[in-house]
Structure formats: C-alpha cells, structure tokens
Amino acid sequence: MNFIKNALKNIAAMFISLLVGLLIGEVVIRIFFPQIISPVQFYYDSKIGGMVPVPNQKGFKSHPREYYYEYQNNDIGMRDTRQLNDYKKIPYKILAIGDSFTYGWGVNDNETFCKLVEKKINRDSVAILNAGASGSGTDYALKFFQVRGPELAPKVVLYFYYENDFVDNSENRYFTIQQDSIIPKGINEATNLNAIQKNKLANSKVYNWFASHSHLFNMIRTQVGIMWNKKVKQENQNQQGATPTATAENKSATPSSAPNTPTVTEQPKPENDRFYPTYVYIKALAKNVEQSGGKFYTFFIPSNKSIAEYQKSGTMSHEKVIVDFCKANNIKVYSFKDVIMKHKDPFKAYYFPTDLHWNKAGNQVAAEYLYQVLNQELFSPQNK
C-alpha cells in the first residue's frame, strides 16, 4: 500500500514539475522569442488535389510586432462570408486568383484589396470572389479554374502574379509539361498521406486550441513541420523519379479531372528557360478562361527585391519578363509597379517589414489602381 502511495506521489511530483517547466518555457518564449500564432490554415481539397484555405473557418493570425488579423473562409475555402450557393444569385462575378497577396495575408477581411474593390464598384450585381491561396503558383490558378470555374461561372478572371510564382510553377504540382502538352498528374501517395494528416490536424479542436494560444507549442509545431515537409518532399521526389513519364502512347491513361486542358501549340520560350513553366501555365489559363466565355487579365505584384532593383537601376527585370510575354501573346497585362513606386519609400509604406506582404496601406493603393483598371476595361460606357 505504501509502495502505491509513494508511486502516486512521485507521478504527481513529476507531473507538477513538467507543468511548471512548460509554464516557464511558455513565459520565456512569449517574452523573448514570440511565435506566429494561428490555427491550422490549410486543408487538402481532393477535387483540386492540393491545399486550400480551411473551408468554413473563422480564425486569426498573429505575427509579433507585425500584424494581427482575422479572417473567414467559405465552404470551398475562399475568403468570403458568402457560400458557393450564394454566388449563383450574383449575375456578374469577377474571380481573383493568386497567392497570399491575393488572399490578403496580414489584413482583415474588409481590408483586402479584393473586398475594397468590390466596395468601390458598389453594385449588388457585381462581386469579387477571392480565391487566393498562400504558396500557390500559376499551376494552382489553372487547376482551380478548371475545377471551380464551371460552378463559379465568372465573367472575368484576374490572375495576380507574384515573383515567387515561377519557383512554385517549376515544381509542377498539378501538371506535367511535356513537349507541347500540359498533362494532369495522378494522385501522389506521399502528398496524399501528408494531406490526410494535415486535414486531421485542421479538424482537431485540441490541436487548434494549442496552436491558437501557446507560443511554446507553435515553436515545436514549426520545427516539426519543417522536418515533416522535408520528409514528404523527398518521398514525393522519389515517387516521381520512379513514375514513368507520360508519352503520346500513355497520355490517354493519365487520370484527368480537367478534360478541357488546352494543348500549348507553340513553346513561348526554350524549355531550359527558368520561366518556361510559368509561360505555359499563364497561356493555358488565359485560353481556358477565353474558352469559357470570360475575360482574362494578369497583374504583376512587385516584391521587395524588385523594389530595390528599381531604386538602383530604374527597371524591374522580373516585371519586364512577365509583361513582355503577356503582350507578345495578346494577354491583357497590368502592373502595380508604377503606382507602388510613386512613393519615395514604397517598401516601408506598403509592405510589412519582415513578413513582406502588403499592409493595410498597400492593399488600399492596390485597390485604387485595380478599380481604375476594371472601371476602364469593364464598366466604362464603351464596354457596357
């Protein structure tokens, strides 16, 4: 009996010591190493075959000394309080596709440039649908439009190109580019396993509570996530290396949820050009939108590196590459460069210092420019 009592006392003492240690660790990290706090923000959408903002989620994200913002996603992971069925009642829909800049990383729902433009248009018959998804490239935009385009039925599609998109596109997560064709990929087992695990976390109330409140938990979460993503990436590369490349003989056997994927009849640049996948995806996206009867526009968003380059040399080489390509292929293209560079210190004025996304002022100036473009292209008397 005494043995059991002593064992219980030892267990209780160990538990209290562990609890005190965790509390001390939490306080120390909060004060000296504050972490980014948020619930799980991404969810695997089996229809798209990739990660989207968690559907039907109300959440927040806190970046120490940078921002705190709240967001709401609808039933298909778009940043909106309106649901998919609500969109059917809106006659004129403008679909905005891009990455975290489009989503509005760092600002509240009513402060994103998408929502600000919709307010400026101020018509019940017109809606801007925010399909931004962090870490996505042009291949995601193409896939999203192929999957969601028929049910959303937008009259206009705006693709917002940010400078790291060409890196995302080089990973070819959704398609394989071979010769003149874009071939939809089948399900990757490593990616699928990772997605299932992440979906479990997104659905876990306990995990999300700790992720939304504990700095210690988020420090551990970040490190585990880095190791896990490295493992998944390696497994993904191993599987791709072992998978036979699609050829003319086996293309018809390749699983496809996108029967309308266009064939790129002309290679805009040699395949060894680092922008080649981006060229192919932009051209295919434009063609998909046009085939659906919609209008397509590309917008270039400059990064801090391009701003520094412009301040030194008066040019943005990355912007020139994208703008020149679009013009050469009769794709309507606009750039936020000129409006951003009007400020004497644009990075300080419009971007978060270390997070590098547009702050509230950046979204406002982008919304003003975008409204002017849309008013000219879509709502001026000659275009009615």
247-279 pLDDT per residue, tens = 322 332 223 333 344 444 444 445 568 899 999
Percent of the chain whose pLDDT exceeds 90: 69
Q: What is the pLDDT of residue 277?
A: 94
> Looking at per-residue confidence, does 64 or 20 come out higher?
64
Residue range 350-359: mean pLDDT, rounded: 96
Tell me what pLDDT residue 263 has. 43
pLDDT digit string, tens, across residues 185-237:
876 666 666 777 789 988 999 999 999 999 999 999 888 878 866 776 666 56
pLDDT band at residue 296, thresholds of 50, 70 and 90?
very high
Q: What is the mean pLDDT of the chain?
A: 87
SS (HEC) of the chain: CHHHHHHHHHHHHHHHHHHHHHHHHHHHHHHHCCCCECCCCEEEECCCCEEEECCCCEEEEEECCCEEEEEEECCCCCECCCCHHHHCCCCEEEEEECCHHHHCCCCCHHHCHHHHHHHHHCCCCEEEEECCCCCCCHHHHHHHHHHHHHHHCCCEEEEEEECCHHHHHHCCCCEEEECCEEEECCCCHHHHHHHHHHHHHHCCHHHHHHHHHCHHHHHHHHHHHHHHHHHHHHHHHHHHHHCCCCCCCCHHHCCCCCCCCCECCCCCCCCCCCCHHHHHHHHHHHHHHHHCCCEEEEEEECCHHHHHHHHHHCCCHHHHHHHHHHHHCCCEEEECHHHHCCCCCHHHHHECCCCCCECHHHHHHHHHHHHHHHHHHHHCHHHC
Sequence spans of domains, the chain: 1-33, 42-383
Where is pLDDT greater, at 239 or 24? 24
- pTM for this model (two decimals): 0.87
Express each pLDDT in 312-344 by its tens digit: 999 999 999 999 999 999 999 999 999 999 999
Percentage of the chain surpassing pLDDT 70? 83
pLDDT at 240: 53
Q: pLDDT for 141-193, tens place per residue?
A: 999 999 999 999 999 999 999 999 999 999 888 999 987 689 998 766 666 66
Amino acid 10: pLDDT: 72
Mean pLDDT of 103-108: 98
In this predicted structure, what is the pLDDT of residue 353? Answer: 95
Q: Is the pLDDT of residue 375 over 60?
A: yes
The mean pLDDT value for 376-381 works out to: 84
Predicted pLDDT at 140: 97
CATH fold of the domain at 42-383: Rossmann fold (3.40.50)
Of the candidate ranges 29-33, 212-216, 237-241, the one whose mean pLDDT is the lowest: 237-241
Q: What is the mean pLDDT of residues 126-131?
A: 98
Higher model confidence: residue 205 or residue 383? 205
